[in-house]
Structure 1
């Protein structure tokens, strides 16, 4: 029944999106709504590799999940599958996704004084100023920009390095989540996670990997995990919604985790950036532009259709009363109802959506469900030219 409902939701979102776009182009700001991209069936140099990797994971994944080297194998497979999906659109598109005028790398050359940048960061969030931050930088705390500035400073500047970095870090979730929940049967499902389409390459894919590692560390080293999740707060304002997952992970050792997160918050505050000030200003910026033009009536339910494509049939079938799934669901519901997530949630919600696959590890006939996951990822990537 869940699959039928999800299928109908996707069909309704697609049909409604087509009708609205035909009547009033630009209203939804997404030609392939509910996904952010354009309807453009295509093949690319990554197609054969993506199909081959998917076939091998379906055929051998369940057995390899029990292998002594299951985790490094799964990580390598995830990187390869994500990169192959990206190459369906071509190398040129892959290396320029983070270099456009709306993206982080556009601002990197202008950051010559990091302390000054942090002190003046909030003032540049509102739009229509001579020095307003570009869209993605203004919509996130300074940690996201700092990440790409740091890459540039160590000699890994440019779009190619940034995109590869996002894939490598994002794929850490494939290892971190099974270690957190204690179930290696989850590994092949995470390798074929349809959300990999947007991990390669978006900064949100990188956020997903960092967040998953932070949640894992909470179960082992709460103070360190708190520090990592504190850093997540400065990668994206929305990652404050990791709180339900963090509470599940940390249990009674919450004090150490809170101390670690607060240390990061205090460090940024002493450097001149107060998170709450940034959050209030980013809400202003959101409604100065796309937030004001995208209709809530459509996206409040169409976002969930996009989510269904991100987690795939196995993710939908595996939705059950698991505490990790419930925690991720609470985070997603809060984000959806907030009105601050209208479109592009297929990438923005990656740090939460990936946890919805936890229940897939318990499905009967895993190869059938892995096949469904692979088909979903390949179909989306080949039918829609996504923006990420």
Structure 2
């Protein structure tokens, strides 16, 4: 009874937080508002549905019926299917379901507006792709083009990320898969694969039964709204598999743990060249190592993983891009833009409200279960990694470099939070899963999200 009370308190607090964040724009609270120094039009453009970045628009689309069917099926039969499938099929079915769910949610907005045209907007990577005629030169001069208000400045999203993000879409174009649909497909497939990565990791960090309980929650997570399509979905997928491979190397007893550790390190090394903020995935990665049986097992994973990640850093350094130079310049570029008009007095807590919307109330109930002293003392891997992701979010929030749009930006962390819902009593899973699904459907049908 006490644990149920704790979950309900967490959900009520989360609902009040979200209500306050959505209401602040309409109240006279001084600087505690989503945007200052703004005209009514600018308020509509950048804060119409704060704390979520989007615009109020009740709508349905081709994806409405499939999304409802997938959501209802997951609620009614997801647990039973996950329990009865042969284990090798569970990650694959989870990935397929997550992909179909994310695509259906995107198609509520329509093919062009919801999927194929998302990454072709004026601030997105694909607008920059045609200008890249010399890839080595682009990498070598990348830092010099980060700051705004100069003739050759990168467009917004390119300047705000390391060169790996732009290079991905340039390479995709070079192999003949140019355009918004192919770019969206890459983000959809990579981003939805995070669900499979989390299930695989849960099996080695906890046990197979727990992994099966996790599967329905990550398969139809509300985070899917921003996975399809935003490049951050792609970033989240890469980082998730990096953590999963570290978990296998640490707790899975593979034949060649060094190879798994090195592969995990390579993916995490590549991930920090996709998004500067993914550097905070070091916290969940350390959580995985802490869950190791002993110090020797942790060190066996740590060394090859770090060396592999440093190899990626070295390749970019030899190509002419130093990560720390880019990071410091991005901070300057950040304060050249709308960040100056987004008060920390609002976004410091409204960011967390947007996170609640992104992960769902069922996840909030599960997070109340992660603060389990006994589980933490026993170094339960799943508890530690979820808390690691939560700590990474808090660090990102306090950095003041993530004001607004965090439902998208924090995807590499929030996809892991969703797994916490599996820590609630199994008899309550259907209700928490239903809350997540209903929340996602409401957001996608009443808000036209910017991503």
- 8 Å Cα contact 1:216-1:249 kept in structure 2: no
Q: Which residue of 1 aligns with 2:93?
A: 73
Change (3 A) 1:126 1:193: same
Q: Which residue of 1 aligns with 2:254?
A: none
Q: Which residue of 1 aligns with 2:222?
A: 194
Q: Which residue of 1 aligns with 2:143?
A: 122
Query: Aligned-pair distance for 1:299?
Result: 0.6
- 8 Å Cα contact 2:35-2:341 kept in structure 1: no
Q: Which residue of 2 aligns with 1:16?
A: 24
Q: Which residue of 2 aligns with 1:318?
A: 366
Query: Aligned-pair distance for 1:249?
Result: 2.3
Query: Aligned-pair distance for 1:22?
Result: 10
Query: Aligned-pair distance for 1:21?
Result: 7.3
Query: Aligned-pair distance for 1:17?
Result: 2.6
Give the greater-gyration-radius structure (CA).
2
Helix, strand or coil at the partner of 1:240: helix
How far apart in 1 are the matches of 2:34 and 2:47? Answer: 8
- 8 Å Cα contact 1:104-1:137 kept in structure 2: yes
Q: Which residue of 2 aligns with 1:328?
A: 389
After alignment, is 362-371 or 52-61 more displaced?
362-371
How far apart in 2 are the matches of 1:42 and 1:228? Answer: 38
Give the alignment partner of residue 275 of structure 1, picking from 323, 326, 330. 323
Q: Which residue of 2 aligns with 1:91?
A: 111
- 8 Å Cα contact 1:18-1:32 kept in structure 2: no
Q: Which residue of 2 aligns with 1:243?
A: 282
Helix, strand or coil at the partner of 2:55: strand
Helix, strand or coil at the partner of 1:130: coil
Q: Which residue of 1 aligns with 2:153?
A: 132
How far apart in 1 are the matches of 2:43 and 2:446? Answer: 22
Helix, strand or coil at the partner of 1:42: coil
- 8 Å Cα contact 1:312-1:376 kept in structure 2: yes
- 8 Å Cα contact 2:34-2:346 kept in structure 1: no
How far apart in 2 are the matches of 1:27 and 1:126? Answer: 25
Q: Which residue of 2 aligns with 1:52?
A: 69
After alignment, is 213-222 or 103-112 more displaced?
213-222
How far apart in 2 are the matches of 1:239 and 1:374? Answer: 27
Q: Which residue of 2 aligns with 1:351?
A: 412
How far apart in 1 are the matches of 2:25 and 2:306? Answer: 43
After alignment, is 157-166 or 319-328 more displaced?
319-328
Q: Which residue of 2 aligns with 1:100?
A: 121
Query: Aligned-pair distance for 1:27?
Result: 5.6
Deviations 1:90-133 (A, max 9, x none): 00112111111100000101111111110000000000111100
> What residue ranges of structure 2 are gaps of 5+ in the alignment?
1-8, 28-32, 204-210, 250-259, 290-297, 372-382
- 8 Å Cα contact 1:291-1:342 kept in structure 2: yes
Query: Aligned-pair distance for 1:358?
Result: 2.3
Query: Is 2:80 aligned against 1:63?
Result: yes
TM-score normalised by L of structure 1:
0.97
Q: Which ranges of 4 or more aligned residues in structure 1 deviate by more than 3 Å?
A: 18-28
Q: Which residue of 1 aligns with 2:231?
A: 203
Change (3 A) 1:40 1:22: farther
- 8 Å Cα contact 1:167-1:199 kept in structure 2: yes
After alignment, is 137-146 or 255-264 more displaced?
255-264
After alignment, is 24-33 or 319-328 more displaced?
24-33
How far apart in 2 are the matches of 1:97 and 1:293? Answer: 25
Q: Which residue of 1 aligns with 2:245?
A: 217
Deviations 1:250-297 (A, max 9, x none): 433211111011000011000000000000100110011122121111
- 8 Å Cα contact 1:27-1:295 kept in structure 2: no
Q: Which residue of 2 aligns with 1:232?
A: 271
The alignment of Structure 1 onto Structure 2 pairs a total of residues equal to 388
Query: Aligned-pair distance for 1:50?
Result: 0.3
Query: Aligned-pair distance for 1:191?
Result: 1.1
Q: Which residue of 1 aligns with 2:193?
A: 172
- 8 Å Cα contact 2:202-2:214 kept in structure 1: no
Helix, strand or coil at the partner of 2:234: helix
Change (3 A) 1:215 1:21: closer
Helix, strand or coil at the partner of 2:91: helix
Helix, strand or coil at the partner of 1:318: helix
Helix, strand or coil at the partner of 1:385: strand
Helix, strand or coil at the partner of 2:270: helix
